[in-house]
Structure 1
């Protein structure tokens, strides 16, 4: 009863207050303003003075005024009245790493647009909801404000108000050092850190504060300590795995308010990063989603000139940390893109400058775009090209490219001489054990798909800005080994220096492309035929690839053929076209008025040299063999077969090679294994043709436009299957001499500097061959691929598709040749017995419904086992006395397993 009385009392009081204000003709909003002023006065009275709080603090003036007290560790932020309700950008990155586990310097942790909003005696850090927008003066804006929510990340008490400036002071320390900091650091690496580590507040502090006209930079150190009772693996890069530090950089940037930048609409046929929102005012029937491409604000000095310098060019500064010998290659990689900008009407749109050793400016200043040099113990990338973008418009504000020193260092590390015992030539190799841990060799569609090299991070490590990596290192090593083993080139040769120069120039061009707004184009490698790849008259004018935004392998000519460029030395046709779309100026007055101009450019996508496929067309899909990584040419079947032959030739050359006097054999082991990984990569590329389909992004009405899906011609699918039978499943594959296999010894140093420290002493060649064969066999019989083969019978003309019966029969004939086509005295080698067991395992799992495959696949597997049982019965009866113990036991057990499988009682739903 008391609560009811209180309610009516308050209600009556509010009515009386309203009547009183009305009688006095006082605006309630004005009254609220007066009340806020009264609160401000109370704050000044009740709190310590502004100057007292910031006493002994170092003042940093710039975008915001910061006060850093190095004794207490406090960081205070001063906000002027005009800085409230204003848009700012926050970009958070990892400024230091631990050198392994994917925790490396330069990784983006978070980015968002935010505002400072005052609520009573507190200031809130608010992330406004910009995903839903309306046009100006649209009444729906009121509905949007009530239908969707902003995100209030922090509510910070106002400590004091400056008596003259009327600016307010807040404590920013906990926002940038606690376990609930802006970066959400602990959760970012939760899968890697698990419950083993947590942030130790006693070890966390603000390291440095920098303030510039357009941005502020704050770097915090987070101390991580091992939790009590936790035990985990030793981290080789740390002196003691119980604790480590991570530095986090917070960048606050003002959102430009100038009107000279015009957003540009995106088109899915051209691969730009985008900034998207839903336009609730759109009532035209077209998609309500608006997508702007991410691009720089380039404007001509002379708008009427067909070729004009920009008013403000894009300038990249090579940081003074970059080794002298690599600066020229990096410069050339950046400037590659000026050719494309000339087509868009700009002269010298991109410039490169060298940061002096005594530079008066700081690379952290957002006014400078830098190319930085990073060193990690076990990096997961060779290049990293992020940019900072205004999500409201898509305007790129700045970019800082990171080149990982291991892109080159891992190439030279451990390079030694291998002496040709017959010819006395020198050679070299890449000793990095990481080459054989490739996150891009994904196991693709197989039942036992290998995850991305044990990636255990919760954040998106597969970001398009993280490029190349382990497989790129292997490709780089393969090119060097080819030069060494085939041509006797040593590590001091100018040819090797030119080779590294060519790679680093290409890597830089790829990362610069990302900072210009371009996404990956995994179709770019299909520009030329295999025969054209080494014709420099073509590659120096048209390009080696359609786009440097692809993950391009080393281009190795077939053994005995002239070698052309190892890596692209110019950008490709797609790159020029994409820049034309993104940056060519128009005279259109509105966003949609230039839409037809852009469509005229985009509809050229049907031209083969402009083919485009990006990350979502590849990862987890692997439908189109042309949309792939580390492939080359428009006939990958031919090119991959060349590379399989190159690998075999390299193995043969290793037969006659030895380390130089006084060195161990570990380099031969690493070279041998690197070639194995290369061999497997090309075998996996061939698998993609089986059940594959071409996919393109053409639209109705495009010249040269095609249907979105086109099945791979059956003749190519059969050719792919035959190639795999020859190079992977046949008895003739993987023939190594005892001489070579007995050289494969690891390095025996027992410390963290030896990548072989935890490897087995002997090289288990049988396991290694089986691992490759098993992977390829599982790829071929993966449930997703079997579904595609089933569906292709509906999507192609009769008798024009590779059917599941044909596939099952071809595999059985290839893998069980010894019993299906027996000769006198049946004898099956150890490699073949292991392969046959794996094939039996896969068919058995299908029949027992342990995997989900189409019903037709299940019945075919049953039929194949039934046929095999009948053949085994005859073979064992006829050739029993002519078999060795291995073969007899193998076939007897195989028959027994088949009988039990076919007679098993199955549970069905």
Structure 2
């Protein structure tokens, strides 16, 4: 049988294995241990007891670790040399404001396969790649080997051998106390941002080390000298605690499953050089847990069968008792999806064991997956996992729930459901409802840990008006997938009784889990599974409930975070109608006798942000392109422009709601309690950002391309600019005075158009010089200048006339080529 190997296996053997073999066994016929002993004596290494003294603090596990004073020693068994291990680097503790607040404790900074290798009197830690692969009997295999040489991450002298010469002892302090880029938490961009000088070795040290049967955990503090640390008062330094996990990967490799971009999965990329194609065959495998039925024959008959090894999540001992039932439900909600894949009791939630039940239980032990409850002001939850890159097998996962994420959902519920749902009109959200929200957050994060990415397209499968229906939402939820960002039903109106306000799992989730986890016993390789997997996709083709879209390129308006329904304009109109009812009540809903208005300010600020989100949902339709993922055997186009009428509808919404003075948002009673000034600047920022988003060069280029390719019946860039000009400058054309908000918006319009023309000067990108967008903007400014010149005297308001004159000056400046 031809054995399929990545470049890892034989390269490590060819480069290091022969040396190791020679050192251990040589050609003398002696036993390996005898040769090791001879080597030890000839090199004058210290005895084990001289290095690992009676003062050593030892922890037994995958390999023994020893702390002797300030020194850390790894005692690495020889039978673990050349074994695949996964080195996962995470930030365990982070300073305030680090990374702009977007880098949290628990953030993964790197994940790489490593191998310990013995090289004479040294041990090397090599970084191994599994991207490039070939059959070992293939002629090209040797080329793959020599063109994928693996780097040495770290090397240390062997200090001693253990008593029976089955393990080497090496001091590894410098691995954790030096600035090794592959495992540190301060990226090169952050070093530049904070003007980091160097790592301070006097303030960098190993905090702790734990050894478990399948993993080693080391925590170490890294302190950098920095001229501009993220927060003042940090003594000119940045200190953070790193956690390095070294996990032994299984010898018995799981059969991979080849990914298909039509079904959303986290993936690992591969390059197969044995392909018959006239190139390397690049493909991806999905990341998933190893689930195999205990009774294959019963599974084949269609019976639900328990897996050999179920997925088990333990709750963190620090999880408050009242939240534990919701966490357990969120975990085990996925059993419905696994039943669709033929498994019962596939995922199990357990309370943390007591000391009596399991005195060695630790969340850091890779044998246990844990939902960790973190006492932190961070408002987030994450679902990371540890994956074997050779096969895509998920080895372990720790879900992280940060305590203050409760605050996020409390606020969102008030803002988006307060108009419709009386129980949302308080900062003390009823336990049953906040518990249901927590349950669905945990379910969402478990989905990530099972291998599923966000599916932002899911929500567009449901008609927007259906989200106002009690019967529809109670049965189908807000979206076909819990992996969408669609957290609260802001479409429902106050008169819609009995609707569901909180998301839940849906049919896409069952479909995706079945596609990724159903056991296919007749397939003996990943390639042999493909026909079956393709058949399952074909059965659902054309049904939007089963479509996937990541939503990260900003092109498809149906793939957006927090968007609800298939009509984003209608959804935003409903959302705005609710916000207008919420704002006048915020003082009452957030106030507490004896306290200030900090909560009011926070909720109001977040409400403004959600309004900005509704606007962006609408903008995405202008110049937008729908994406329906297909393969070449499926009929029809993958990309199709948003229809002309929908684009016009979106621009009309923007002119009527986004680019008018938002009097409803400027509740005087409210603002007088939270700020002395800032309302004008806040509205200006919101409108300017929205306008710049709408006039994005890529968006305009898509519209120009669409006109060129499709001809008639398209919404053109010229029409967009005309509709915007007549909307944003409607006071000019109606002979009316302008208020401060509108003046700011009109200046922003001229500035945005001028910025394109300025790109002509000194442009290094030839694409910009040849772009129709510059001609479009120049023509719009010239037209606007003529209109202002002809109409500016029609209104008897000095400030408005000054404003029109100022705009003419700005346009003249923007059009000049000598700037």
What TM-score does the superposition give when structure 1 sets the normalisation length? Answer: 0.80
Contact conserved, 2:417 with 2:424, CA < 8 A, in 1?
Answer: no
User: Which whole-Å CA distance do the structure 1 matches of 2:238 and 2:780 have between them?
Assistant: 57
Q: CA deviation at 1:357?
A: 4.6
Structure 2 equivalent of residue 249 of structure 1 = 243
1:590-609 equivalences under 5 Å are: 590-591=524-525, 592-603=527-538, 604-609=540-545
Q: CA deviation at 1:518?
A: 1.2
Note closer, same or farther for the CA distance 1:499–1:241 as it changes in structure 2 (3 Å cut).
farther
Structure 1 equivalent of residue 744 of structure 2 = 834
Structure 1 equivalent of residue 304 of structure 2 = 307
Q: CA deviation at 1:242?
A: 4.8
Q: Does 1:583 align with 2:517?
A: yes
User: Which whole-Å CA distance do the structure 2 matches of 1:366 and 1:233 have between them?
Assistant: 33
Note closer, same or farther for the CA distance 1:643–1:364 as it changes in structure 2 (3 Å cut).
same
Note closer, same or farther for the CA distance 1:234–1:109 as it changes in structure 2 (3 Å cut).
closer
Contact conserved, 1:502 with 1:566, CA < 8 A, in 2?
Answer: no
Q: State which of 855, 864, 870 in structure 1 corresponds to 2:786.
A: 870
User: Which whole-Å CA distance do the structure 2 matches of 1:340 and 1:193 have between them?
Assistant: 45
Note closer, same or farther for the CA distance 1:600–1:779 as it changes in structure 2 (3 Å cut).
same
What TM-score does the superposition give when structure 2 sets the normalisation length? Answer: 0.88
Note closer, same or farther for the CA distance 1:32–1:580 as it changes in structure 2 (3 Å cut).
same
User: Which whole-Å CA distance do the structure 1 matches of 2:363 and 2:213 have between them?
Assistant: 14
**Secondary structure at 2:674's aligned position in 1?**
coil
Q: Does 1:624 align with 2:621?
A: no
Q: State which of 673, 677, 680 in structure 1 corresponds to 2:612.
A: 680
Structure 1 equivalent of residue 16 of structure 2 = none
User: Which whole-Å CA distance do the structure 2 matches of 1:342 and 1:404 have between them?
Assistant: 30
Q: CA deviation at 1:563?
A: 5.4
Q: Deviations over 1:252-284 (max 9, x none)?
A: 22211125x322121111111222221222225
1:388-403 equivalences under 5 Å are: 388-403=386-401
User: Which whole-Å CA distance do the structure 2 matches of 1:742 and 1:531 have between them?
Assistant: 34
Structure 1 equivalent of residue 729 of structure 2 = 816
Structure 1 equivalent of residue 6 of structure 2 = none
Q: CA deviation at 1:802?
A: 0.7
Contact conserved, 1:94 with 1:248, CA < 8 A, in 2?
Answer: yes
Structure 1 equivalent of residue 703 of structure 2 = 789
Q: Does 1:156 align with 2:72?
A: no
**Secondary structure at 2:686's aligned position in 1?**
helix
Q: Deviations over 1:49-103 (max 9, x none)?
A: 112111121232221122222xx22221222332222222222222222354244
Q: CA deviation at 1:596?
A: 1.0
**Secondary structure at 1:117's aligned position in 2?**
strand
Q: State which of 466, 487, 491 in structure 2 corresponds to 1:553.
A: 487
Q: CA deviation at 1:590?
A: 1.8
Q: CA deviation at 1:794?
A: 2.9
Q: Does 1:859 align with 2:791?
A: no
User: Which whole-Å CA distance do the structure 2 matches of 1:659 and 1:38 have between them?
Assistant: 78
Q: Does 1:323 align with 2:320?
A: yes
Contact conserved, 1:390 with 1:397, CA < 8 A, in 2?
Answer: yes
User: Which whole-Å CA distance do the structure 2 matches of 1:855 and 1:258 have between them?
Assistant: 56
User: Which whole-Å CA distance do the structure 1 matches of 2:609 and 2:487 have between them?
Assistant: 13
Q: Deviations over 1:845-885 (max 9, x none)?
A: 334446948744333333333333333333245x3xx5122
User: Which whole-Å CA distance do the structure 2 matches of 1:889 and 1:351 have between them?
Assistant: 70
Structure 2 equivalent of residue 62 of structure 1 = 61
Q: CA deviation at 1:393?
A: 0.9
Structure 2 equivalent of residue 886 of structure 1 = 799
**Secondary structure at 1:202's aligned position in 2?**
helix
**Secondary structure at 2:183's aligned position in 1?**
coil
Q: CA deviation at 1:764?
A: 1.7
1:345-424 equivalences under 5 Å are: 345-358=342-355, 359-360=358-359, 361-377=361-377, 379=378, 382-409=380-407
Q: CA deviation at 1:243?
A: 5.3
User: Which whole-Å CA distance do the structure 1 matches of 2:182 and 2:49 have between them?
Assistant: 27
User: Which whole-Å CA distance do the structure 2 matches of 1:655 and 1:406 have between them?
Assistant: 22
1:329-728 equivalences under 5 Å are: 329-358=326-355, 359-360=358-359, 361-377=361-377, 379=378, 382-409=380-407, 430=411, 475-479=412-416, 481-482=418-419, 489-492=425-428, 496-556=430-490, 557-562=492-497, 564-569=499-504, 571-591=505-525, 592-603=527-538, 604-614=540-550, 618-619=551-552, 621-654=553-586, 659=591, 661-702=593-634, 706-728=636-658
Q: CA deviation at 1:840?
A: 1.8
Contact conserved, 1:100 with 1:376, CA < 8 A, in 2?
Answer: no
User: Which whole-Å CA distance do the structure 2 matches of 1:124 and 1:660 have between them?
Assistant: 62
User: Which whole-Å CA distance do the structure 2 matches of 1:111 and 1:180 have between them?
Assistant: 14
Q: Deviations over 1:785-828 (max 9, x none)?
A: 110110111343x3311111211111111111222232xxx422
Contact conserved, 1:665 with 1:743, CA < 8 A, in 2?
Answer: no
More helix by share: 2
Contact conserved, 2:37 with 2:165, CA < 8 A, in 1?
Answer: no
**Secondary structure at 1:304's aligned position in 2?**
helix
Contact conserved, 2:461 with 2:545, CA < 8 A, in 1?
Answer: yes
**Secondary structure at 2:200's aligned position in 1?**
strand
Contact conserved, 1:521 with 1:612, CA < 8 A, in 2?
Answer: yes
User: Which whole-Å CA distance do the structure 2 matches of 1:193 and 1:52 have between them?
Assistant: 46
User: Which whole-Å CA distance do the structure 1 matches of 2:715 and 2:124 have between them?
Assistant: 62
**Secondary structure at 1:673's aligned position in 2?**
helix
User: Which whole-Å CA distance do the structure 2 matches of 1:890 and 1:663 have between them?
Assistant: 43
Worse-superposed segment, 892-901 or 142-151: 892-901
Q: Deviations over 1:276-300 (max 9, x none)?
A: 2212222256861242211111111
User: Which whole-Å CA distance do the structure 2 matches of 1:597 and 1:657 have between them?
Assistant: 55
Alignment gaps of 5+ in structure 2: 1-24
**Secondary structure at 1:159's aligned position in 2?**
strand
Q: Does 1:262 align with 2:255?
A: yes
User: Which whole-Å CA distance do the structure 2 matches of 1:499 and 1:61 have between them?
Assistant: 46
User: Which whole-Å CA distance do the structure 2 matches of 1:388 and 1:548 have between them?
Assistant: 22
Q: CA deviation at 1:140?
A: 2.6
Q: CA deviation at 1:667?
A: 4.0
Structure 2 equivalent of residue 110 of structure 1 = 110
Q: CA deviation at 1:37?
A: 7.2
Contact conserved, 2:470 with 2:498, CA < 8 A, in 1?
Answer: no
1:729-748 equivalences under 5 Å are: 729-730=659-660, 733-735=662-664, 739-740=668-669, 743-746=672-675
Relative contact order (alpha carbons < 8 A, sep ≥ 6): 1 or 2 greater? 1
User: Which whole-Å CA distance do the structure 2 matches of 1:31 and 1:147 have between them?
Assistant: 34
Structure 2 equivalent of residue 427 of structure 1 = none
RMSD: 2.9
Contact conserved, 2:229 with 2:238, CA < 8 A, in 1?
Answer: no
User: Which whole-Å CA distance do the structure 2 matches of 1:299 and 1:35 have between them?
Assistant: 39
Q: CA deviation at 1:315?
A: 0.6
Note closer, same or farther for the CA distance 1:58–1:683 as it changes in structure 2 (3 Å cut).
same
User: Which whole-Å CA distance do the structure 2 matches of 1:62 and 1:737 have between them?
Assistant: 62
Contact conserved, 2:363 with 2:370, CA < 8 A, in 1?
Answer: yes
Contact conserved, 1:606 with 1:706, CA < 8 A, in 2?
Answer: no
